[in-house]
Structure formats: structure tokens, C-alpha cells
């Protein structure tokens, strides 16, 4: 299945049905009158996050979505049927943006989350609705209201716990293939990875999701190489694993190049928790390995892990480090969710003049 993380679609909710103009005319029945029913309501357009999808490729083949219009009202006080809704099924992590690609409509981060992005028009009133004591035979009815129509952008940001970043050929795809069942394309040339890949890593009986994105090069924020358009897929991660290939002549410069691109991208990526690892160490002798490890430690300000996906050296240790950061971050989110919300009314009614933290 081809990966697609951005799609432009046209949506239109249903128009409301028109009210009916009708009068009761039955033989032998006295006191006829208006009996035109109301029109039905137009259908809505919804977007829903579902499990089992990780691409927006379906929207490459269908870009127009229209809900049904409401049925017109009829005589004998019959109300028209409501129009059927239409639902866009999208992967978890999809954002819906206005046509300007900047205004956020909704962000679907949980399975089953739904949002109405276009409301159907209300049905019009039939002439029976306008009957009064002084106007017993109204001969008019309301038309239905028009539905909403607009163009929106769907933008997918994959949901992962940890993200892999680094220069091309830093060993990101090899690392992903070694610790998960994912099978990304691996070759000895730059930009082998052309789209993000996901995999589930397991360590000590605990699982977490890894995201591998195409490599970054200097000037990626200006569109050089593949650019930084795929960095959105690691925005939601708890931690970044920054891989620096031991085959780089200057490993310190390789680290700072990627770090500079993360800072230029923004979205707090540069401030995200980071684990640094020197990869592909099986190609170095001990003296060279020691020298490059020291150089990388000076550039990143911490002691990097030494790993080799080919031999398995250091892989368990770096996975445990990733796991620990993810568990700690998730625990912090749970603690924040459990903090009770203090209402100003509760403070005022307590009568003791204390603030939330207990200080007067």
C-alpha cells in the first residue's frame, strides 16, 4: 500500500428539504385547513479515526464527499425524511485543516474519535406551521437551508512513542528492522527510506511503537533533499533516538547538522527528550571507536550509546533507555490527568480566603 500523509478533499453537507404548501380537502369533512409538513434536515459530514489505517491513500481516488439532502415536506402534515450522513474514515493521528492549511479544525488522536466538519441545513417549515387564529390559510412555506460546502486538508501525523532521526545512511531502517517486525527497504545509498515506517519494539515484556522517517541533511528546512515534511510524524513521540553513523568522518558535525534542522523546524522538537547512539560500530577498530565516541559526546553533551544492529551489540541497552523515558513520560501525563480541577466558586464558598496552594 502506498503511503500518503496529505490529501485535499471537497465536502458538502446536505441541503434541508423545503416545507410543503398543502390544504386539507376531504369530502364530508368540515373545517379543512393547511396541512403542509416540514422538510427534513440535510445530512452532516463527519470525520472519524479508525483502527487499521496508516495512510490517506484512499483519498487519492475519491476527493468529493456529499451528504444527502433532506426530503421535502408533504401534505397531511408529513415531515420529510432527514438526509443521510457521510463519514470520512481516517487513520488515528489525522488533522483536519481549513483550505489555508493553517487553521486547525480538529485533531483526531484516539480511535473512535469523531468530529462534525460540516453541518446539514435545517428543513423548511410547511404552511401548517404558520397557521394562527388570524391567518388560518397561509399559502407559503419556507425553503430548506443550504448545507455547508468547503475544501479541507487532511494531514496525517503518525502516532508513535519513539522516533528515529539522523542523516541518510545512519542506520535508522536497519535499527527498525532489527528490533521490530517491520521490513523497510535497506540499501547502501542515501534516501533509501522515502516515507515513514512504523514498527513495534518489545523489551522486557513491554511494547512501544517506533517511527522511522527519511534522513535529514543540511538545509532540509529549506527543502534540500527530501526536506523536513516528514518531521511531523515524530512530533507526537515521547523521545527521539538520534543515530549517528560511525562511518561519518566527523560524527560531531553529523550530530549538529541534524540538531540544527530540528531547531529550524520548531514545534519543540529540539527540546524533546533525546537519546544519542553511535551506530554501525562493527566497522571500527577499538581506537577509532573510542575517538569517535569522545567526539560525539562532546557535541551532544552526554555519553552516547554504542550500537550495532548487525551484531546486536548495545541494542538491548538502548531499547531499555527508550522504554524508561516513554514510561516516565506516560506516567507524567496520567498524573496531570488525575489532578482535580479547582473551581473559583469552590474557593469563594470555602470562606477561609486561601488560594489553591493553601497560602492566604
Helix 172-179 crosses helix 315-338 at what angle (to 10 degrees)? Answer: 80
In whole angstroms, give the CA distance from residue 199 to residue 182: 5
In whole angstroms, give the CA distance from residue 89 to residue 62: 12
In whole angstroms, give the CA distance from residue 135 to residue 269: 68
Examine domains 1-156 and 162-338 and report if their fold is the same: no
In order of 64, 65, 71, the CA distances from 146 in angstroms are 18, 16, 13
In whole angstroms, give the CA distance from residue 100 to residue 112: 27
* Homologous superfamily (CATH) for 162-338: P-loop containing nucleotide triphosphate hydrolases (3.40.50.300)
In whole angstroms, give the CA distance from residue 175 to residue 221: 25
Name which of 120, 117, 99 is nearest 108 in CA terms: 117
CATH code: domain 1-156 is 2.70.210.12
Q: With beta carbons less than 8 A apart as the criterion, state whether 278 and 251 touch.
A: yes
pLDDT tens, the chain, 360 aa long: 567 899 999 999 999 999 999 998 877 767 778 999 999 999 999 999 999 888 899 999 999 999 999 999 999 999 999 999 999 999 999 999 999 999 999 999 999 999 999 999 999 999 999 999 899 889 999 999 999 999 999 999 988 999 999 999 888 999 999 999 888 888 777 777 778 888 999 999 999 999 998 888 888 877 777 778 788 888 889 999 999 999 999 999 999 999 999 999 988 888 899 999 999 999 889 999 999 999 999 999 999 999 999 899 999 999 999 999 999 988 876 665 565 554 444 434 444 444 434 343
pLDDT at 88: 97
The domain segmentation of the chain, as residue ranges, is 1-156, 162-338
Q: With beta carbons less than 8 A apart as the criterion, state whether 168 and 215 touch.
A: yes
Please provide the distance, in angstroms rounded to a whole number, between the alpha carbons at the two ends of the chain.
Answer: 62
pLDDT at 339: 57
| Full-model pTM | 0.80
Name which of 143, 38, 110 is nearest 80 in CA terms: 38
β strands within the chain, DSSP E: 6-12, 45-50, 64-66, 86-91, 94-97, 104-108, 114-118, 149-156, 162-165, 197-203, 206-212, 239-245, 273-279, 305-306
Amino acid at each position: 500500500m502506498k503511503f500518503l500523509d496529505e490529501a485535499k478533499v471537497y465536502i458538502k453537507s446536505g441541503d434541508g428539504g423545503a416545507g410543503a404548501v398543502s390544504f386539507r380537502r376531504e369530502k364530508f369533512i368540515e373545517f379543512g385547513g393547511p396541512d403542509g409538513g416540514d422538510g427534513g434536515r440535510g445530512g452532516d459530514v463527519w470525520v472519524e479515526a479508525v483502527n487499521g489505517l496508516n495512510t490517506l491513500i484512499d483519498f487519492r481516488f475519491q476527493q468529493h464527499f456529499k451528504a444527502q439532502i433532506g426530503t421535502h415536506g408533504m401534505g397531511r402534515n408529513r415531515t420529510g425524511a432527514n438526509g443521510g450522513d457521510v463519514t470520512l474514515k481516517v487513520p488515528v493521528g489525522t488533522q483536519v485543516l481549513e483550505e489555508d492549511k493553517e487553521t486547525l479544525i480538529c485533531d483526531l488522536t484516539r480511535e473512535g474519535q469523531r468530529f462534525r466538519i460540516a453541518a446539514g441545513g435545517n428543513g423548511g417549515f410547511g404552511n401548517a406551521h404558520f397557521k394562527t387564529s388570524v391567518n388560518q390559510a397561509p399559502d407559503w412555506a419556507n425553503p430548506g437551508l443550504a448545507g455547508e460546502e468547503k475544501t479541507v486538508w487532511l494531514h496525517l501525523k503518525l502516532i508513535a512513542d519513539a522516533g528515529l532521526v539522523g542523516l541518510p545512511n545512519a542506520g535508522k531502517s536497519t535499527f527498525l528492522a532489527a528490533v521490530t517486525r517491520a521490513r523497510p527497504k535497506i540499501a547502501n545509498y542515501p534516501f533509501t527510506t522515502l516515507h515513514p515506517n512504523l514498527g513495534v519494539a518489545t523489551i522486557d515484556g513491554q511494547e512501544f511503537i517506533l517511527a522511522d522517517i527519511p534522513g535529514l541533511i543540511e538545509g532540509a528546512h529549506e527543502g534540500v533533499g527530501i526536506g523536513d515534511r516528514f518531521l511531523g510524524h515524530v512530533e507526537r513521540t515521547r523521545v527521539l533516538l538520534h543515530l549517528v553513523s560511525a562511518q561519518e568522518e566527523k560524527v560531531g558535525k553529523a550530530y549538529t547538522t541534524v540538531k540544527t534542522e530540528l531547531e529550524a523546524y520548531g514545534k519543540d522538537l529540539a527540546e524533546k527528550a533525546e537519546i544519542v547512539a553511535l551506530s554501525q560500530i562493527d566497522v571500527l577498530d577499538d581506537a577509532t571507536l573510542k575517538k569517535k565516541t569522545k567526539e560525539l559526546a562532546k557535541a551532544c553533551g552526554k555519553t552516547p550509546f554504542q550500537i550495532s544492529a548487525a551484531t546486536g551489540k548495545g541494542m538491548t541497552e538502548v531499547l531499555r533507555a527508550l522504554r524508561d523515558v516513554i514510561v516516565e513520560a506516560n506516567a507524567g501525563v496520567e498524573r496531570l490527568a488525575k489532578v482535580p480541577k479547582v473551581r473559583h466558586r469552590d474557593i469563594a464558598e470555602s470562606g477561609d480566603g486561601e488560594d489553591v496552594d493553601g497560602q492566604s
